[in-house]
């Protein structure tokens, strides 16, 4: 099935590893050119070069911090310079938190507001004009199941991801007249490096069987009783980026192996 993504230009934040890299690979496999953004310069440059060579597309890595206005401006400028604008924006950069509301200071709340919400606001402001001039586009937000089903130890994550989900809906209404489709995805358990780090920390005092910790989490939380691979989730993002999803506007889709405990 031709998804019609050949020669589209996709900007992916957090594109150097994990889910963002899998989405980048999926889009490149369909012929899209890439702008990958992350803070660690070497890793994002290496991955951009590797994906470009594997799929015969053009890709650049942009070292920037999207939790800052300057970082977002640098990403927009690099995209303009390399490709003259973008057709697709995937707001994916993000991170789990760990705190209580009683103890977390204001600056922690502020940081995750900047990373999870303001990055999406600023990059929409920066990239929507070129999408308009190219005749339309797609913006996807990677929120989390935690946007609607909170996990007790990460109130800042739950709250800022819920805000991102609402931002996605609101932006969708504003830009659909310009043929820009905006949607949000709420993943469940996706096996990325952070989970392994978390499981190793949790098992450190009890023998170090981190695989058993991950198995227990999957069996407890997901009806399907396993984690997804980043690639399984990336297929869904690639579909939403394509014209095959032409009537999908302003929605939030769960890709969670049955983790959501309601309808
Ligand atoms: P990873 O930690 O594997 O990757 C995060 C990516 O974001 C890296 O490329 C990292 O690169 C980049 N990044 C982080 N902070 C910034 C920043 N301030 N500016 C620019 N780039 C940044 O994460 P995952 O792949 O696991 O998660 C990706 C997204 O998916 C996140 O938003 C997460 O909340 C969401 N999600 C993940 C789930 C999971 O189970 N894994 C479940 C639900 C949602 P660098 O460090 O070089 O900046």
The answer to whether 164 and 116 are in contact (CB under 8 A) is yes
Residue with CA nearest ligand 1 atom 36: 144
Per the DSSP assignment, residues forming a β-bridge with 61 are 36
Give the model's pLDDT for residue 124.
99
For the packed helices 119-133 and 155-175, what is the interaxial angle rounded to 10 degrees?
20
**257 Cβ closer than 6 Å to some ligand 1 atom:** no
What 8-state DSSP symbol labels residue 258? T
What 8-state DSSP symbol labels residue 250? S
Look up 153 and say whether it is catalytic.
no
Whole-number percent of the chain with pLDDT over 90 = 99
The answer to whether 26 and 231 are in contact (CB under 8 A) is yes
Mean pLDDT of 159-163: 99
Report the distance separating Cα 179 and Cα 136, nearest Å.
5
Torsion region of 203: left, alpha or beta (phi above 0 gives left; psi -120 to 50 gives alpha): alpha
User: What count of residues does the chain have?
Assistant: 263
Sheet containing strand 9-13, edge to edge, reads 59-63, 33-38, 9-13, 88-91, 137-142, 180-187, 252-255
Residue with CA nearest ligand 1 atom 16: 93
Asked if the ipTM is above 0.90, the reply is yes
Residue among 19, 35, 41 whose CB has most ligand 1 atoms within 8 A, to mutate: 19
Collapsed DSSP state (helix, strand, coil) of residue 5:
coil
9-190+230-255 has which CATH code?
Answer: 3.40.50.720
Give the model's pLDDT for residue 153.
95
Mean pLDDT of 24-34: 98
Mean pLDDT of 211-232: 98
Residue with CA nearest ligand 1 atom 2: 194
Report the distance separating Cα 246 and Cα 181, nearest Å.
8
| Model pLDDT for residues 126-153, shown as the tens digit of each residue | 999 999 999 999 999 999 999 999 999 9
Mean pLDDT of 5-10: 98
Residue among 23, 50, 94 whose CB has most ligand 1 atoms within 8 A, to mutate: 94
Domain positions in the chain: 9-190+230-255, 192-227
pLDDT-derived band at 119 (thresholds 50, 70, 90) equals very high
Q: Ligand 1 atom closest to Cα of 36? A: 9
* Average pLDDT over the chain, rounded to an integer: 98
Give the model's pLDDT for residue 24.
99
Element (H, E) at 227: none
Report the distance separating Cα 124 and Cα 129, nearest Å.
9
């Amino acid at each position: 099935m031709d998804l019609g993504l050949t020669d589209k230009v996709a900007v992916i934040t957090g594109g150097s590893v994990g889910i963002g890299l899998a989405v980048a690979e999926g889009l490149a496999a369909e012929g899209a050119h890439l702008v990958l953004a992350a803070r660690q310069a070497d890793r994002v440059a290496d991955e951009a070069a590797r994906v470009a060579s594997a799929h015969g597309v053009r890709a650049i890595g942009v070292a920037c911090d999207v939790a800052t206005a300057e970082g977002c401006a640098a990403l927009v400028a690099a995209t303009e310079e390399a490709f003259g604008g973008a057709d697709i924006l995937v707001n994916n950069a993000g991170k789990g938190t760990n705190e209580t509301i009683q103890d977390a200071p204001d600056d922690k709340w502020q940081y995750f507001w900047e990373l999870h919400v303001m990055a999406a606001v600023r990059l929409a402001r920066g990239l929507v004009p070129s999408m308009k001039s190219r005749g339309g586009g797609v913006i996807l937000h990677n929120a989390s199941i935690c946007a609607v089903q909170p996990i007790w130890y990460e109130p800042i994550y739950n709250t800022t991801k819920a805000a991102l989900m609402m931002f996605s809906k609101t932006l969708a209404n504003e830009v659909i007249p310009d043929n820009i489709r905006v949607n949000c995805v709420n993943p469940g358990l996706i096996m990325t490096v952070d989970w392994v780090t978390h499981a190793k920390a949790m098992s450190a005092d009890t023998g170090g069987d981190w695989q058993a910790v991950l198995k227990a989490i999957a069996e407890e939380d997901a009806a399907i009783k396993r984690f997804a691979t980043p690639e399984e989730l990336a297929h869904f993002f690639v579909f939403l980026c394509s014209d095959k999803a032409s009537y999908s506007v302003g929605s939030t889709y769960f890709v969670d192996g049955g983790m959501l405990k309601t309808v």
